[in-house]
Structures are given as C-alpha cells and as structure tokens.
Amino acid sequence: MIHFVGAGPGAPDLITLRGAELLKTAGVVIYAGSLVNPALLELCGDRCEIHNSAKMTLEQVLSVMEAAERAGKTTVRLHTGDPCLYGAIREQMDALDALGIPYDDTPGVSSFCGAAAAACAEYTLPGVSQSLVITRMAGRTPVPEGESIAAWARHGASMAVFLSAGMLEGLQAELLKGAYTPATPAALVYKATWPEERVVRCTVGTLAEAGRENSISKTALVLVGGFLEPDYQRSSLYDPTFATGFREASR
C-alpha cells in the first residue's frame, strides 16, 4: 500500500495526526527533499528506509514503491504542503494503477494557507474579494494560454502565486497588465511556518525590488490583492442584524 501524505508547509507540527501516524508506521518513506522539512523524518521508525525524491526520477520512485510492495512494506510518499497542488501525484497514481498497487491520499496544510497565517491575512474579505486564484508563472512547465497571470489579474481577485519567486520582474509586468495597479498591495512570504519565515510587504509596483532587496528568489509565495489592505466590509455572518441558521437577528 502506498500512502501519499501532505507534509504541510514546513513546521513539523503542522502535519496532520493521520499523516504523522502513517510516518511512524511506514517501512519506506520517499520524501520531496527540496521542500519537506527533514525534521518530520524523526517520526519514522529506526528500521524505516528513507529516500529523497529530489534526486530521483519518476521511474526510480516507482521502482522503490514496487520493491517495497514486493517486500510487504507500507510506503509513505511525502509531498510538501498538500499533494494536490503542483505535487505531480497524478502520474504516480496512474502508474500505480497500471501496476495494480493500491494507494490513498492524506491531505496536508498547503503553503498558501501557511503564507496567509504568516501574514495574518484573510483572502476572502467582504467588499474586497471573494475568490482566491492559485496559479504560477510559466516555467519549464507551460501554463495554458487562458490562464496567464495577465488573464487572472483582470479579475482583481486575491492571488497566491506559486513557483514564481525567481521571476519577479516578469510577474510584476504581467500583474500590471490586469486590474492591479503599481499601488496594489502584495507580499512575498518566504518559507512560511519555518523558523526562517519572512513576510515582506510591498506593492505590485515594488515586487521585484522587494525580492532583490531581501534576496528572496525561491521557496516563497507571492500574495497579491486588496485583501492585504486595511479596508473591507465586516462579515454578514457575525453581524448582529443578520439572522443565520444558528442565531436570530437582534433587531
């Protein structure tokens, strides 16, 4: 059995209880060494075999999984954040289907949640934005044309941009093609929830400069939108004049 597990954004106590239990009992762990906090591996038993997938191809990962399966061992495939975002899990799952090896998936705290927590921010502020765009700049992995940063930026919604901290000049230019202005607030969140965590607040117009000045070019999320500003409307849910299924309106 292969368990895909979300490791969370960095702090080792942000893995789920289920994920931690699976690590404790795993015979083999394959972890994404580029971003998973190695402190999580301390949960593994003494006899657990550990592989760093940053140095492996998909074929090598699969052959470790197959060998573990033949030996009757349980494998944990540990991905950073939540495996469902930029995790390359689908290709592993399809290959496991072809090999007849069963698997399941345990979610984790994605870094876009870790980054919001680091900035004490809410993406969905009434009167500001009720949507969050999770996207990336095109890199070696292409992005479909209709999903360019400029296309998303036309909505003026809250944005969490992954995998793009090394392309801040280009990102800034793309954002400015949409509804954002140079004054729209932005933040660079570096290694959210790790001890080295840093939140650099800036604007769309100063994004690239903020990256240069703070030497941030990887392991960071770029947050963009009016949700980083002080102005918003309070929620209807907790407004005394609004009735909800759980509470009557006070007048």
Contact call for residue 191 and ligand SAH (CB under 6 A)? yes
Question: Site for ligand SAH (CB under 6 A): which residue of 12, 19, 87, 225?
Answer: 87
State the CB neighbour count (10 A cutoff) for residue 156: 18
Please give the Cα distance from 18 to 174 (Å, whole number). 40
Q: Which residues of 47-86 are buried (b: 16+ CB within 10 A; e: fewer)?
A: ebbebebeeeeeeebbebbbebbeeebbbbbbbbbbbebb
Whether the CB-CB separation of 249 and 241 falls below 8 Å is answered with yes
Q: Mark residues 203-222: x for contact with ligand SAH by CB under 6 A, - for none.
A: ----------------xxx-
| Nearer to ligand SAH among residue 126 and residue 170 (C-beta) | 170
Q: Which is nearer to ligand SAH, 37 or 75 (CB)?
A: 37
- In the block, which residue shows the tokens 């765009």? 133
How far is 203 from 189, CA to CA, in rounded Å? 13
Over the window 20 to 39, marking each residue x when it contacts ligand SAH by CB under 6 A and - when it does not, the resulting string is ---------------x----
Contact between 135 and 153 (Cβ < 8 Å):
no
Rule CB under 6 A: say whether 81 interacts with ligand SAH: yes
State the nearest-atom distance from the C-beta of 121 to ligand SAH, in Å. Answer: 13
Nearer CB in complex with ligand SAH: 41/232? 41
Smallest CA-to-CA distance from 28 within 81, 83, 65 is with 65
Would you count residue 149 as binding ligand SAH (CB under 6 A)?
no
Site residues for ligand SAH, 112-141, by CB under 6 A, read 114-115
- The CA–CA distances, whole Å, from 148 to 46, 169, 187 equal 47, 15, 20
Q: Cβ closer to ligand SAH: 69 or 222?
A: 222
Q: Which of 4, 31, 152, 162 binds ligand SAH (CB under 6 A)?
A: 162
| Four-residue CA torsion sign, 144, 147, 149, 154 | positive
**What residue is closest to ligand SAH based on CB?**
81
39-78 binders of ligand SAH (CB under 6 A): none
Interacting residues toward ligand SAH by CB under 6 A: 9-10, 35, 79-82, 85-87, 110-111, 114-115, 162-163, 189, 191-194, 219-221
